[in-house]
Amino acid sequence: MEFRPVKLASLSTGTENRESATLRAFTVLEHIAAAEEPPTLEELTRAIGLPKPTIFRILRLLVRGGVVQREVHVKRYLVGERISALALDVQMRSPQRRERRAILSRLVEAIGETCNFTMLDGTDVVYLERVETSANIRPHMKTGSRVPLHCTASGKLLLSELPLAQVRRLLGAGPLPRYTQRTIVSMSALFAWPCRSAMRRRGCALPSPSTVRRPG
């Protein structure tokens, strides 16, 4: 089922009068989370259809509660750490967890490699589910672990699906942190990485020792 942000001004007067403060705050948060770019107060006012002072009061409350963050210099609003943590908890305890773990287990049995189910969170990849191979030498990572986007197979796969402008916003101008000698640290090298287009075609990425050093 797909949920779409509601424009409160489009509701009838009787219905709008029954909208609770909680639902209005959730509607503002929903628009911020769904926006391609962090929205301004004016953009939220137009999208939601409530008076500007009302939207401002809701935003001030959400910022104070750590639910929304305000970018000081450009006066735009984005989802705060509290909601990001909540979203991660929801994903990790999803009713679909048993199903996706069963799929990963079958995949591990078929290919003999550790398989992960990950998501993008800021500049990190978060491991929502992980089924390990029985190989003697393998990196051990717990569910909920975070690793940098630019130096993991999952992260590079996610980056390959994003517009370059969004990648720049996420990672900045560089240089990126180095973890091993094979870590890609420059943005130009990351964009020119020859496997980028191949990953987009295949829909998968192959690991390389760019984050964790192999045992000597």
Q: What is the pLDDT of residue 169?
A: 80
pLDDT, one tens digit for every residue, the chain (216 residues): 344 554 544 444 444 544 578 889 999 999 998 888 889 999 999 999 999 999 999 999 999 999 999 987 778 999 888 888 888 888 878 788 888 889 999 999 998 888 888 888 878 888 888 888 877 766 677 788 888 888 888 888 888 778 778 788 878 877 888 888 888 788 777 776 655 665 666 666 655 555 544 333
Sorted by where each begins, the domain ranges of the chain are: 8-79, 97-202
| CATH number corresponding to 8-79 | 1.10.10.10
Q: What is the pLDDT of residue 205?
A: 60
Structural contact between residues 140 and 117, judged by C-beta atoms closer than 8 angstroms: no
Q: What is the pLDDT of residue 177?
A: 84
| Fold matches, 8-79 and 97-202 | no
Architecture of the domain defined by 97-202? 2-Layer Sandwich (3.30)
Radius of gyration of the CA atoms of the chain, in A? 21
Q: What's the DSSP call for residue 79?
A: E
Q: What is the pLDDT of residue 21?
A: 83
Q: What is the pLDDT of residue 46?
A: 94
Residue 49 has phi, psi (to 5 degrees) of 90, 10
CA dist., res. 210 & res. 2, Å (int): 38
Residue 165 CA to chain centroid, in angstroms? 16
